[in-house]
Amino acid sequence: MLGVVNQRALTAQRNACRGLSLVELMVGLALGLFIVAAALFLLSEHLRENRSLLLQARLQQDLRTTLDLMSRHLHRAGHWGTPQAAIWQADSAAQTNPYAALTPGNNSVMFYASRDAQENQQIDGNETLGFRLQQGVLQMRLGDGGWQSLTDPEVMKVTQLQIQPLVFEQALADLCHRPCPPNANTCPPRQQVRSMQVSVQASATHDAQVQRSLQTQVRLRNDAVIGSCPV
């Protein structure tokens, strides 16, 4: 009887010391790999979102810098060294601003601004300015210097450039001493307040899903006065 008890005790001791079975070990490894895979997935998603945020911030900053630079140059469109010559007077006709022309195109705009130390009343080669979109790169024309890139194609790709001229006319009838004749097209004189609405859209070069667009409105200098009062 004592031998049977000892045999059972020995068998129980062996069963307690035999460790994990192969099935249990495989199940444990599978659970461990699943947890590691889930952790790696969460880490990769975190890194992807962080990279996307960095690309968005850089794209936003570069677009803002580009738009500010465009606004400063567009603000000079139509600059004239002798703007007082455009004021209508009773004894002399008003002169036309030779730099007032503005030529918007498809993803481009051309304009002029005087750079003369002494105004010569004509457009010189270095007074022709403009912006255009060329193969995803925003370029600026600096007179005789040709076209220069404003954006880095390694950072962003500009997909759209829209420049829309806006003109607001203010009647100056109070300046006339006599009433205008009926159906007069040039009376009373009118002041043209010009501005341009600029919209730029771009995407990150290394991730086309990261896109940003900015818009601003630029007030132009040297308002044009058209028409005249009756003599």
User: Between these two residues, 6 and 114, which has the higher pLDDT value?
Assistant: 114
What integer pLDDT is reported at residue 140 of this predicted model? 93
pLDDT, tens digit, 9 for 90 and up, residues 162-213 = 988 888 888 887 877 788 887 777 788 888 888 889 999 999 888 888 888 9
Residue 81 pLDDT: 85
Please name the residues in contact with 145: beta carbons below 8 A apart, sequence gap of 6 or more.
126
Higher-pLDDT residue of 45, 213: 213
pLDDT band of residue 56 (cuts 50, 70, 90) is confident
The pLDDT value recorded for residue 8 is 62
Confidence of residue 10 (pLDDT cuts 50, 70, 90): low
* pLDDT (tens digit per residue) in 92-147: 667 788 888 888 888 899 999 998 888 888 888 889 999 999 999 999 998 887 89
- For the chain, give the percent of residues with pLDDT over 90: 17
pLDDT at 14: 58
Which own/partner contact pairs does 92-99 have at CB distance under 8 Å and 24+ positions apart? 93/228, 94/225, 94/228, 95/121, 97/222, 97/224, 98/122, 98/123, 99/123, 99/127, 99/222
Q: 4 falls in which pLDDT band (50, 70, 90)?
A: low
Closest by CA to 177, choosing from 90, 85, 86, is 90
What is the mean predicted confidence (pLDDT) over 24-47?
79
Q: What is the mean pLDDT of the chain?
A: 82
